[in-house]
Structure 1
Amino acid sequence: MRPIVITEFISLDGVVEAPGGGNHEHAGWTFEDVEFDPAAYEIKGREQQDAAALLLGRVSFEEFAPVWPSMDEFATYNALPKFVVSTSLTQDAVTASGWAYSHLLTTLDDVRKLRDGAHGDGSRFSDVTDGPVLVHGSPTLAVSLASAGLVDRYTLLTFPVILGGGKRLFADDGIKTRLTLVESQQFANGINLAVFDVAR
């Protein structure tokens, strides 16, 4: 199995939208409102080294694809297989984005095959090693994955800010989920790291 890990920058009121920029009125809240502490981001380096693939919703894919390939700090991510879950995109559109090794998945059944370790499903999964599949951003996809029982871990960097609105990670009508804390740390700038495994 390739565990699916939802990894997010999240506000105290649960908002994950536009932490680094975008259309939200408080876009860029992770660096505009909190003093930078490199220690708080160490988990992101570990995740990048351990990841087998990236899994993204359409909106996050379309935001990341023009930017991440030119960022040296994301070189490992850029070399990974990437999967965008969408019913409105086509594989031609995904390929045309220019983000190497990007593939289209159209159903949660496709995601389940990826998670369960499929290797022989044509070109989509043939290059995916065993290891975590990371979901960055993509709150709509994250809610759908949770509802389908496809989330195995949450890695949350909670920032000491209340945004008052925006896309949230957890749905108001979501399912009850029991979590097990496996790692935690508090940083001097008020950021809290919490890593939770989903209890089965």
Structure 2
Amino acid sequence: MSDHALDGAIDSPGSTAEGHQGGGWVFDTEFVPDAYSLKAEELEETTALLFGRNSYEAFSTFWPTSPDHAAYRDLPKYVASTTLADDALVDGWGTTKVLRTTEDVADLKQTDGGAIFIHGSADLALHLGEAGLIDRYNLLMFPYLLPGGKTIFSASGADRRGLRLRDSAVYANGVVKLVYDVRR
């Protein structure tokens, strides 16, 4: 689901241009291929992608033609947004549908199919987690503290949620893989 700094921030993993002064932490971390094995594991299970509007707009500018993201090309895509117009969807990137409400996302979860993976979309993941619509958290924790960044976990006001550790690993570059199922 997400790349995180140790303090839970997910803001601006690629660069400071994404908005957080501490951005670029993923690329500032020594590359150890095994530390990214979770990405391939996720892709094996993924049957659809879910984005918030901002992440959809960012990824749809280069993923459709990116050789590194070819495996995502034909997966169904959903965008949770109250503002994105249907005619703003990118052509040639598989079936894409806009979901307008939390209930639309809940209905999608009830359909036959496999894992729906959220890419980026901190606000969406936070909202869906609070609504009880997240079943698993796939986390790569990077060895940085980024106070003030976006997080997918509520700072206050949400009910406590129990998690059950499914998988974990520690890598030579300090990245920690944590996969948690949400206990119901």
Deviation at 1:95, TM superposition (A): 4.3
Deviation at 1:20, TM superposition (A): 2.1
Deviation at 1:23, TM superposition (A): 2.6
Deviation at 1:94, TM superposition (A): 2.1
Gaps of 5+ in 1: 1-6, 119-129
Structure 1 segments of 4 or more deviating over 4 A? none
More RCO (CA 8 Å, sep 6+): 1
Q: Which residue of structure 2 aligns with residue 47 of structure 1?
A: 42
**In 2, Cα distance between the equivalents of 1:16 and 1:56?**
15
One-letter code aligned to 1:194? L
Q: Matched residue of 1:112: which SS?
A: helix
RMSD after superposition? 1.4
Q: Which residue of structure 2 aligns with residue 114 of structure 1?
A: 108
Deviates more, 1:154-163 or 1:169-178: 169-178
Q: Matched residue of 2:23: which SS?
A: coil
Aligned pair partner of 2:123 in 132, 135, 140: 140
Contact 1:17–1:137 (Cα < 8 Å) also in 2:
no
**In 2, Cα distance between the equivalents of 1:48 and 1:70?**
18
Q: Which residue of structure 1 aligns with residue 21 of structure 2?
A: 25
One-letter code aligned to 2:163? L
Q: Which residue of structure 2 aligns with residue 152 of structure 1?
A: 135
Q: Which residue of structure 1 aligns with residue 31 of structure 2?
A: 36
Q: Which residue of structure 2 aligns with residue 127 of structure 1?
A: none
**In 1, Cα distance between the equivalents of 2:130 and 2:30?**
35
Q: Which residue of structure 2 aligns with residue 14 of structure 1?
A: 8
One-letter code aligned to 2:71? T
**In 1, Cα distance between the equivalents of 2:9 and 2:95?**
30
Contact 2:122–2:152 (Cα < 8 Å) also in 1:
yes
Deviation at 1:74, TM superposition (A): 1.2
Q: Which residue of structure 1 aligns with residue 89 of structure 2?
A: 94
- 2:74 is the counterpart of 1:79: yes
Deviation at 1:90, TM superposition (A): 1.5
**In 1, Cα distance between the equivalents of 2:46 and 2:139?**
16
Gaps of 5+ in 2: none
Aligned pair partner of 2:169 in 162, 176, 185: 185
Contact 2:126–2:151 (Cα < 8 Å) also in 1:
no
If the length of structure 2 is used for normalisation, what is the TM-score?
A: 0.93
One-letter code aligned to 1:20? G
Identity in percent: 42
Contact 1:53–1:134 (Cα < 8 Å) also in 2:
yes
Figure out how many residues of one structure are paired with residues of the other and give that number: 181
**In 2, Cα distance between the equivalents of 1:104 and 1:26?**
32
One-letter code aligned to 2:70? A
Contact 1:185–1:194 (Cα < 8 Å) also in 2:
yes
If the length of structure 1 is used for normalisation, what is the TM-score?
A: 0.86
